[in-house]
Structure 1
Amino acid sequence: MTAFTRVAETGSFSEAARRLRSSKSVVSRQIAALESELGVRLLHRSTRALTLTEAGRSYFDQLVRILADIDEANLSVSHLQVAPRGRLRVNAAMSFGIRHLAPAIPDFLARCPEVEIDLTLNDRFVDLIDEGYDMAVRIGHLIESSLVARRLAPLRRVVCASPAYLAARGVPTTPDDLIGHECLRYSNIPVGDEWTFTAPDGRARSAEVKGRLRVNNGDALRIAALEGLGLACLPTFIVGEDLRAGTLIPVLEGAAHQSGGVFAVYPHARHLSPKVRAFIDFLVERFGPNPPWDRAET
């Protein structure tokens, strides 16, 4: 089962054998024996590619969860419970992952030399249990779920624009002024056409925004704002450097509603594996209540 999982992940008998510290012929025989035992073909083999059959894909999806449960069971009763070791599957949003998670990983791997990280970056909401992830880094508000969450850092949003845009279109002084502005909207959430602000009475209020550009990625919105296309409402982990450099100017300061955070989430387990615990502790230490992207100097 482990041999098949590695072949499915890598698309290669040779790479699977390398990861398993085995030989290509041994791995090939193991897969053939598994297919014979199951009575079904799991892989399409050709000189050009190695792909999963429909049965193979279904089997792989289930094996990822089963093997993770076996690893967890072994860890809970062995000496490995005290030492981070093994493969850690992590999911994170694209912008945060590229800007902050990826630069942190080399330091973590240096600290934990027996851990191997498999990092997937996308802006799609993934099901950790069904898709076999050990943990995820999520941004914003957490929905009700059976997952355990630990706060890694605060989340601060700012409305900002380039100096050229503000010089040409004026600086909004209240959320109501956004009606006359070109607003760059985030399309990956249901309320991307509404920005939330804090009213004088302390309550959150929404303002409808309009503009000619909608994008499903924060870094793409940042580029549009830098090019003077309009106002953007973005987290400081994306635009912190631009705010310090003055290439983006914050407006409506104090009005943008601050809520949510940067969280590590993981499936509930009675025995949290040392690799997950070590990585989350490392991220809390690295980011914390005053993360690098919110500091006056880095």
Structure 2
Amino acid sequence: MESFGSIECFVRSAEGGSFAEAARHLSLTPAAVGKSVAKLEARLGVRLFQRSTRRLTLTEAGKLFLEEVSGSLITIQNAVANLASAEGRPMGTLKVSMGTVFGNRYVVPLLGAFLQRFPDISPDWHFDNRQVDLIGQGFDAAIGGGFELPQGVVARKLCPAHRILVASPDYLARRLPVRAPEDLGHCSGILIRSPQTGRIRSWQLTNRAREQQPLVLKPRMTMSDSEAACHASAQGLGISLVSMPMAVPFLDSGELQRVLPDWYVDDGNISLYYAEHKLLPGKTRAFIDFIIEQFVEQGLGPRFSAI
């Protein structure tokens, strides 16, 4: 029977495309991973990878072997992780990805209460606004909005992902009233540029009657971050379209107020993403249930709704 460690080295190398990527995931050296995979190939009597200086490529035998063992590997890992959970003690390293500002503002403040309830879990939290490869990069869960849902990944809704128009009271006092979307064309716009694509996205405004109008603002400046756009708008520099979670603190403080409060952008949902398994690790289940519970208790869903 092949060793569990060698098979795990093979699977992680196949997923990451290199021994170095597998080594980072397994906390080993690339040399140790390569040696383990080589021993596995010798015992099986087949070559699993075509090796180059830049990347590993699976052979036909390697592809077949990966299909046979990858699902079983996850099941075994989850079963081991759940041994302690069966006694009510979820444990292990919890690797989670979340947006930088959203995570720091709404998830990190929950960390103390989470660890008090689950002291044997060790958080390994990554803050990045880009979508991660949940399975390939070994994440237990991710929090975000607008993500594509790959095969084998499920989503649990946390709150709506609405965007609203905001400006400072001072800026609005210096201009003609903005009563309809057509009035925005004469206003200075603080536009958001996607940090991933570099493009400025076009948006459709929706009102409570589900009517739609294109959002047209006179470009004054561009930002790649919603919180930065909020700060710029708070200085009276123009109108920006920002996500509700970013806008809420500025609305609460009075630094910003909504423009056209009957209109908003529906950008889907902010959700919890995790791999779909029959036997979900106890640490992952604990995190999912805790975050959903806290968002409900704090009323963040209604608070982040623009309607």
TM-score by length of 2: 0.71
1:106 aligns with 2:115: no
Instruction: Establish whether residue 267 from structure 1 lines up as the match of residue 275 from structure 2.
Output: yes
2:94–2:121 contact (8 Å) kept in structure 1: yes
What code does the residue aligned with 1:84 have? P
Which shifted more, 281-290 or 174-183? 281-290
8 Å CA contact 1:171–1:251 kept in 2: the answer is: no
| Shift in alpha-carbon separation, 1:132–1:166, aligned structure 2, 3 A | same
Give the aligned partner of residue 136 of structure 2.
130
Q: Secondary structure of the residue that 1:194 maps to in structure 2?
A: coil
Does 2:247 correspond to 1:239? yes
The equivalent residue for 2:184 is 178
* CA distance in 2 between partners of 1:9 and 1:107 (Å): 30
Q: Measure the CA separation in 2 of the matches of 1:246 and 1:32.
A: 57
Aligned to 1:80: 85
Correspondences of 1:89-100 after superposition (within 5 Å) = 89-100=95-106
C-alpha contact 1:183 1:211 (8 A) present in aligned 2: yes
- Please provide the CA RMSD for this pair: 3.7
**1:113 positional shift:** 0.3
Are 1:187 and 2:193 counterparts?
yes
- Relative to structure 1, the CA distance from residue 121 to residue 256 in structure 2 (aligned partners, 3 Å threshold; closer, same or farther) is same
Number of equivalent positions: 260
Change (3 A) 1:192 1:8: same
Whether the 8 Å CA contact 2:167–2:257 is kept in 1: the answer is: yes
Within 2, Cα distance between the matches of 1:257 and 1:33? Answer: 51
Q: What are the residue-to-residue correspondences of 1:125-164 with 2, within 5 Å?
A: 125-139=131-145, 141-146=146-151, 147-164=153-170
1:133 and 1:213 mapped to 2: Cα distance?
36
TM-score, structure 1 normalization: 0.72
Give the aligned residue type for 2:176.
Answer: G
1:225 equivalent among 225, 233, 249: 233
Looking at structure 2, the residues matched to 170 and 201 of structure 1 have their Cα atoms a distance apart, in angstroms, of: 25
| Residue number in structure 1 paired with 2:46 | none
Shift of 1:145: 3.0
Secondary structure of residue in 2 paired with 1:229 = coil
Q: Secondary structure at the match of 1:257?
A: strand
Structure 1 residue 162, shift from structure 2 partner: 0.8
> In structure 2, what is the equivalent of residue 249 of structure 1?
257
Change (3 A) 1:70 1:238: same
| Partners of 2:230 and 2:250 within 8 A in 1 | no
The Cα of 1:123 is off from its aligned counterpart by: 1.3
TM superposition shift of 1:36: 5.4
Paired letter, 2:260: L
Alignment of 1:30-109 (within 5 A): 70-75=76-81, 78-81=83-86, 82-109=88-115
List per-residue Cα deviations over 1:158-215 (Å, max 9, x = no partner): 2110122112233311111111111111222778443322257523443233413222
Q: Describe the shift of the 1:133–1:66 C-alpha distance in structure 2 as closer, same or farther (beyond 3 A).
A: farther
| Amino acid in the other structure paired with 2:291 | L
Task: Tell me which moved more, 210-219 or 279-288.
Answer: 210-219
Pair 1:85–1:222, CA change in 2 (3 A): same
Is 1:209 the equivalent of 2:217?
yes
Identity %: 28
Query: How far does the alpha carbon of each residue in 1:80-136 deviate from its partner, in whole angstroms, 9 at most, with x for none?
Result: 345311011100112201211111122211211000111111111211112111110
CA-to-aligned-CA distance 1:219-273 (integer Å, 9 cap, x gap) = 1111111112211112221121221221101110121134522210111111111
Residue identity opposite 2:85 in structure 1: L
Using the TM superposition, give the Cα deviation of residue 8 of structure 1 relative to its aligned residue in structure 2, in angstroms.
5.7
